[in-house]
Amino acid sequence: MNDTPLEPAAAPYAGFTPEQVLDALDALGFRPDGRLLALNSYENRVFQLGIEDAAPVVVKVYRPGRWSDAAIAEEHAFVAELIEREIPVAAPLVLTLPEPMPRFDGRPPLAVTLNAGATLATIDGFRYAVFPRCIGRAPELEQPETLEWMGRFMGRIHAVGKLSRFESRPSIDIDTYGRGPRDWLLAHGCIPDELREAWVSTLGHALDRVAACYERAGDVSTLRLHGDCHAGNVLWNDRGDPPGPCFVDFDDARMGPAMQDLWMLLSGDRAAMTIQLSDVLAGYEDFCDFDRRELHLVEALRTLRLIHYSAWLAQRWTDAAFPAAFPWFGSVKYWQDRILELREQIALMDEPPLVV
């Protein structure tokens, strides 16, 4: 299922309450003790729950209508492959259906359906996955040894990602992250009238430069990716088993070029990114070959993400969490800033690629 729908879902979590999470976990046999903490997530609803006589768990309630069951199963299967190879990732627990217990309020037990892998439960129309709680801090990406360490694990993830393909998940490319979001924003009147012509023209030039970057790169291969590998989706634990990074939240896993998971670890000016990418690749290429032609895609992929992000916000505006968290979205100034941002990206895409 493509996550660029023709229409935004109407308030997908309307009426959803934390009590439903407690009831769902109880129906799955976890016996929550009432401690519930909402974690920082906008795409889905994610909670940490205390469990009687056991370690806390993290529960993801998938956004209705975004992914099909088959697409979620592919995410879970990919993560399971990584776990089999002892790569530190947060993997959903295999669920079981205990004997239904009468509820204290007198209502009948909840009806629970598990998918074929038993890692996804559907309860009262919402889909749940349960994860062990992972502890860690943000990685120190300014440290060369941290980047090399991250590169080693990313190389291992990509080596597994090359073994097969996603069939139910879309790819990251100029259509899904560029032209599709552009068309959706225009069709739904998201651009202020006074800026529409400038935005359309600038975005058109940006997509032309993205296409030119892909043409220079040539026929690069695609593989199964994390898809959203920024520092917020990595937990670093110096005393873990093993110590180092744990990669979490494969919700955006897709097909795409390897560079998609690497450029998000880079920041600063051209000189700084060159050094950082060299450190990452020093570890990455211990486990996975890297096609240097993908260096042409760094700024192209960054540009596509910026375009996709605006459409992502617009498509979810009926979810009350979004206007509260992003009050600046949709203003004239917001779109003026996006036009300037795209113009900067056009200039960057015309520069020679990084050399590492």
Catalytic positions, please? Answer: 228, 249
Distance, in Å, from the CA atom of 119 to the CA atom of 140, rounded to the nearest integer, reads 32
Per-residue b/e over 260-269, b at no fewer than 16 CB within 10 Å? bbbbbbbeee
Q: Tell me the two tokens of residue 47.
A: 């909670």
35: its two tokens: 């401690």
**Beta-carbon count within 10 A of 138 CB:** 10
Cα 63 to Cα 126: distance, rounded to the nearest angstrom: 8
| Alpha helix (H) residue ranges in 68-192 | 69-84, 144-161, 174, 180-187
Instruction: Record the tokens describing residue 50, joined without a space.
Output: 């205390």
Of the chain, the end-to-end C-alpha distance in Å amounts to 36
The CA-based angle 228-162-260, given to 5 degrees, is 25
Closest CA to 80 of 224, 200, 218: 224
Cα separation of 121 and 264, whole Å? 32
CA dist., res. 214 & res. 245, Å (int): 31
User: How far apart (Å, rounded) are the C-alpha atoms in residues 210 and 289?
Assistant: 24
Q: Is 52 exposed, middle or buried (0-12, 13-18, 19+ CB in 10 A)?
A: exposed
Beta strands (DSSP E) in 158-278 are 223-224, 234-237, 244-247, 255-256
